[in-house]
Amino acid sequence: MAPIIKPIINPATNLPHATTVVIIGGGIVGLTAALTLAERNVPVVVLEKGRIAGEQSSRNLGWIRKTNRLSDDVPLALASDKLWAEMSKRVGADVGYSQSGILFIGRTPAEIAGYESWHNSTQSLNLDSRMVTAKQIDQLVPNGRGKWAGGIYTASDGRAEPTLASSAIANAAIAKGAVIIENCAVRTLATKGGRVSGVITEQGEILCQEVLLAGGIWSRRFLGNLGVNLPTLPTICSVLKTKPMDIKFAPSVGAPDFSFRKHRDGGYIISQRGKLDAPLTIDHLLLGLKFLPALKGQHKFLKIGLGKYFWDDLRLARKWKEDSVSPFEKVRAMNPLSNEVLTGNALDNLRASWSGFEHAEIETQWAGVIDITPDSNPVIDRIDKIPGLTIATGFSGHGFGTSPAAGQLAADMVMQSDTPLIDPTPYRFSRF
């Protein structure tokens, strides 16, 4: 069952006639952008086709990490660390953030060499990441019985609770003047004189000066209808949560074939790190070559298959008119089946590696669709072809951690700030 999101207080029901900025998508990126804009007294309306955070932003593992990121993505993660640290105070509600450390471990010299190579490549960034021995792994997370060759540990990495964070951020944005409307899909953009003049929703039109598209996996389809080719493909990550347990490991741990992190209720969120499902779609044929380097590299563990997802995706339109029902109204929340073979293997591997987990009882399982780009970095950029449109999307399975800074950077781009939060160069659209 998908995680339960705390309902937002005072969601709007009536579509405003006009605003300054419309944000398409009430995931954590759209919501942090809305909070930033509302704090700057910019009128903003968030339109979400289902419930806020109903897709990736409530289903993720809650890891907040710099470790193993592309080095040009680390400045965004560092800026996010600062914002996460003050987020509960900023929004006046607990987002479950703690700087509890993240430990990646390996069994083979090749795995350790991979971590070492990342460590060496980020020396100039002055991170607190350090290579660790098997003995140090045991000190950090005692009672292990796996045979580890070593690993890498970053004490300043952390975690937050996805189901708390999005609603807390949404409520704070509303309190500061943002309007958030759920169950309201945006079908397309309205344009006048070659630039954005509004959005056409299933409930009517809103006039606006700027639009931010933060639509997660749907951004490619939305832009495709406008003749803009955003290269993202779906992968499915399956997750299980245990009932509360009497184990108190602080750091989150990523091993080659399982990962775990403590949930604030005492349970553990567990996932398979070695494999992700990659459902085939028509987009694989259209984009396959662009993704070859990624598929050979960081996504080499994909289990590619043709199944229900392929047929569901095939049935959804790729072109539609503003007065016809759009794909976004047909799927209020993408809810793929959890692959219980993968999660079961992950739990078995964890049980074999750490004592205490033998008696772990599964409370619930779910899955989420991740939007990956060819280089695993998101796009946060203005779209030259459509003046007035900015996109923040394609977070490739690690956008929860960077969302506070990504949302702020997106807000900076929307407002064409001369002093964006960080240099946005790694996120430009033209790199594809």
Ligand X SMILES: Cc1cc2nc3c(=O)[nH]c(=O)nc-3n(C[C@H](O)[C@H](O)[C@H](O)COP(=O)(O)OP(=O)(O)OC[C@H]3O[C@@H](n4cnc5c(N)ncnc54)[C@H](O)[C@@H]3O)c2cc1C
* Residues at the contact surface with ligand X, assessed by CB under 6 A: 24-30, 47-50, 54-57, 59-63, 185-186, 214-216, 218, 222, 237, 239, 328, 368, 370, 393, 395, 397-401
CB of 418 to ligand X, least distance (A): 25
CB of 135 to ligand X, least distance (A): 27
**Residue environment code for 148-160, b if the CB has 16+ CB neighbours within 10 A, otherwise e:** bbbbbbbbbbbbb
CB of 344 to ligand X, least distance (A): 16
Structure letter (DSSP) for residue 429:
G
CB of 217 to ligand X, least distance (A): 6
Of 328 and 354, nearer to ligand X (C-beta) is: 328
Q: In terms of Cα–Cα distance, which of 159, 140, 137 is closest to 149?
A: 137
CB of 368 to ligand X, least distance (A): 3
Alpha helices for 297-398 (secondary structure H): 308-315, 327-330, 340-353
Spatial distance between the Cα atoms of 127 and 119, rounded to a whole number of angstroms: 9
Torsion, Cα 348 349 351 354, to 10 degrees, reads -170
Strand partners, 418: none
Spatial distance between the Cα atoms of 361 and 187, rounded to a whole number of angstroms: 43
φ, ψ for residue 344 (rounded to 5)? -65, -40
CB of 403 to ligand X, least distance (A): 6
Spatial distance between the Cα atoms of 251 and 248, rounded to a whole number of angstroms: 9
- CA 303 vs. chain centroid, Å, equals 20
What does each C-alpha distance from 412 to 219, 362, 396, 422 come to in angstroms? 20, 42, 22, 10
Of 106 and 404, nearer to ligand X (C-beta) is: 404
Of 220 and 382, nearer to ligand X (C-beta) is: 220
What does each C-alpha distance from 6 to 49, 53, 153, 161, 222 come to in angstroms? 17, 10, 32, 11, 28
Of 42 and 199, nearer to ligand X (C-beta) is: 199
Annotate 80-103 with three-state secondary structure: HHHHHHCHHHHHCCCCCCECCCEE
Q: In terms of Cα–Cα distance, which of 104, 119, 102 is closest to 150?
A: 104
Of 138 and 332, nearer to ligand X (C-beta) is: 332
CB of 149 to ligand X, least distance (A): 24
Spatial distance between the Cα atoms of 342 and 345, rounded to a whole number of angstroms: 5
Minimal CB distance residue for ligand X: 27
Q: How many distinct helices (H) and strands (E) make up the chain?
A: 13, 21
CB of 328 to ligand X, least distance (A): 4
Of 41 and 197, nearer to ligand X (C-beta) is: 197
CB of 238 to ligand X, least distance (A): 7
Pull the structure tokens for residue 249.
């490991």
Spatial distance between the Cα atoms of 262 and 178, rounded to a whole number of angstroms: 33
Of 395 and 429, nearer to ligand X (C-beta) is: 395
Cα Rg of the chain (Å, integer)? 21
CB of 133 to ligand X, least distance (A): 26
Of 136 and 345, nearer to ligand X (C-beta) is: 345
Of 27 and 150, nearer to ligand X (C-beta) is: 27
Burial of 202 (0-12, 13-18, 19+ CB in 10 A): middle
CB of 337 to ligand X, least distance (A): 13
